[in-house]
Amino acid sequence: MRKKTHAYHRLQDDVPAPVKQRRLEELISVFREEAAKVNMALIGSTQLVLVEGESKRSSEELCGRNEINVKVIFPKTDLPVQPEKPQMVPITPGDYVLVKGCPVLLLEYHTVLQSLA
């Protein structure tokens, strides 16, 4: 229990450590199941992503967040300025890009980049 609370001074901690551990594992399990359901709902959908910068795991990828604040990792590529013109520009932090998602990890999802055309 947290010190400096009324409960700390008035109540006894009578829950055994194994019971606390079991409850924590159940809670984590339920959380992961629900997170997986949210991620599964994003499969194949196109998301608008605000680019935050380079991915922590790879310099070949960028990361950003979609409209529901889910972290999105996608390949670092150049996009055309206009669909008809061959001029390409790099994606930079602060840009918005459309990505089509496919899950890789439980709490993150990997993406395939699409142009904004």
- Model pLDDT for residues 14-29, shown as the tens digit of each residue: 899 999 999 999 999 9
Q: What is the pLDDT of residue 24?
A: 96
pLDDT tens, position by position, 56-110:
988 898 999 988 888 888 888 888 877 777 788 888 899 998 887 654 433 344 4
Please choose, from the candidates 53, 54, 57, 50, the residue with its C-alpha nearest in 3D space to the C-alpha of residue 104: 57
Separation between Cα atoms, residue 10 and residue 45, nearest integer Å: 52
DSSP assignment of 96-113: EEEEEEEE-SSS-EEEEE
Q: What is the pLDDT of residue 102?
A: 55
Judge contact between 112 and 102, C-beta under 8 A: yes
Q: How confident is the model at residue 8 (pLDDT cuts 50, 70, 90)?
A: confident
**Does pTM top 0.85 for this prediction?**
no
Residue type at position 24: L
Task: Tell me, rounded to whole angstroms, the distance of Cα 48 from its chain centroid.
Answer: 13
Q: Which residue would you say has higher pLDDT here, 24 or 13?
A: 24
pLDDT tens, position by position, 33-66:
998 888 788 777 888 889 999 989 888 989 999 8
Separation between Cα atoms, residue 77 and residue 99, nearest integer Å: 12
Within 10 angstroms of residue 109's Cβ, the number of other Cβ atoms is 23
Separation between Cα atoms, residue 27 and residue 24, nearest integer Å: 5
Separation between Cα atoms, residue 116 and residue 82, nearest integer Å: 9
Check pLDDT > 60 for residue 111. no
